[in-house]
Structure 1
Amino acid sequence: MPRLALCRGLPILVLALMATVASPSIFPSEAIAQSLERGPSGLPLPRFVSLKSGRVNMRVGPGTDYAVEWLYLKPGLPMEIIQEYDNWRRVRDADGAEGWINQALLSGRRTGAAAPWFKGKQATIPLRAQAEEDARHVAEVEPGAIGEVRVCNGEWCRMSFSGHEGWMKQTLVWGVYPGETIED
């Protein structure tokens, strides 16, 4: 995931991120997905969105006076909104990094990362022709690849990765809650 660190304590930050990635809080429970908590915007918290732009600053606090901690360079990256303050959203990325992004740089378009927890390992994630374990493979997707979420039925998501459309186990998608349904 293209992201540039803009701080000197990079080794400490990398260790902190590694500890956070191993944390179960990155994989929200079904109870969280079904939560009725609403933010000041009236929208549910937490919820998934994506980045609108190819250059998005994540700040340490909710405002332009706060330091930039990360610079994201890929539009469409999924982000989880976990808090709202005025027109700022506290977000978490697939690696567990948290910070603040202005709402104008976020989109309601749903995207997902294919099993980012397998990045750096010899693994591929099958994209299947149908929402069945034994369905033929349409494509093999690299861990961390970003795709557009079309539909989710609570167990499977129909997704599109670089023109290849098919079904992926919902538990292998970061950007959709376990058990969440998304209609076309």
Structure 2
Amino acid sequence: MTVAVLAAMLAVPPVAAEDRGAVTNLPLPRFVSMKASEGNVRRGPSLSHRIDWVYKRRNMPLQITAEHGHWRRVQDRDGAGGWVHYSLLSGVRTVIVEADMLNLYARPDASSQVNAQLSLGVVAEVRRCEAEWCELSAGGYRGWAGKGAYWGVKPQEAFE
């Protein structure tokens, strides 16, 4: 076996192009938040479909997994979801804290000063993310938290 054949066999397969929504051409899946303080979650993408439950938390992070017309199929941190009208959603990025007393640091460095601590279940706005840290804002406090202790961003996602 030649070196070239062996290298080809061991090569990591190319990463598939990111899926795009048929309606918006935005990446799927992607994170958004609830714009409304209340929103019906339906079994299908129309008003004629049954309401399975109602989201009652403004700014709650959700993940869009599909699009159909003015409807978006969403999923929450527990994996529950359904179809929501797009007007109930916002592009503002938020996360929900999954660890009690999450430290918000002055810089993306665990040895920097702690600005605040966030309790389990707090919803915080995401200001920006680097590979391993995101800058969060909640209750008038702002700081950096390492990824993994909150839901609403992808593990290596970075944005301004």
Q: Tell me the residue number matched to 2:108.
A: 131
Higher strand share: 2
Which blocks of at least 5 consecutive residues in structure 1 are unaligned? 1-31
Counterparts of 1:70 and 1:160 in 2: how far apart (Å)? 29
Offset at residue 173 of structure 1 (A): 2.4
- Say yes or no: does 1:59 pair with 2:48: no
Query: What pairs up with 1:28-43 in 2 under 5 angstroms?
Result: 36-40=18-22, 41-43=24-26
Aligned residues: 145
Residues 75-128 of structure 1 deviation map (CA, whole Å, 9 limit, x = unaligned):
11110001111111110012221111011111111111112xx5xxxx321111
Could you say what the CA RMSD is over the residues aligned between the two structures, in angstroms?
1.6
Query: What pairs up with 1:143-158 in 2 under 5 angstroms?
Result: 143-158=120-135
User: Structure 2 length as normaliser, TM-score?
Assistant: 0.85
Counterparts of 2:132 and 2:152 in 1: how far apart (Å)? 14
Q: Tell me the residue number matched to 1:92.
A: 75
Residues 119-157 of structure 1 deviation map (CA, whole Å, 9 limit, x = unaligned):
xxxx32111111112222211111121011001011100
Structure (1 or 2) with the larger CA radius of gyration: 2
Offset at residue 55 of structure 1 (A): 1.1
Q: Which amino acid aligns with 2:29?
A: P
Q: Tell me the residue number matched to 1:101.
A: 84
Q: Which amino acid aligns with 1:98?
A: G
Task: Give secondary structure in 1 for the equivalent of 2:20.
Answer: coil
Q: Which amino acid aligns with 2:95?
A: G
If asked which structure has higher relative contact order (CA below 8 Å, sep 6+), I would say: 1
Contact residue 129 and residue 135 of structure 1 kept, 8 A: yes
Offset at residue 35 of structure 1 (A): 5.4
Q: Tell me the residue number matched to 2:95.
A: 112
Q: Which amino acid aligns with 2:61?
A: P
Counterparts of 1:73 and 1:175 in 2: how far apart (Å)? 17
Which blocks of at least 5 consecutive residues in structure 2 are unaligned? 1-14
Counterparts of 1:84 and 1:56 in 2: how far apart (Å)? 17
User: Structure 1 length as normaliser, TM-score?
Assistant: 0.74
Q: Which amino acid aligns with 2:132?
A: E
Percentage identity across paired residues of the two chains: 39
Higher helix share: 1
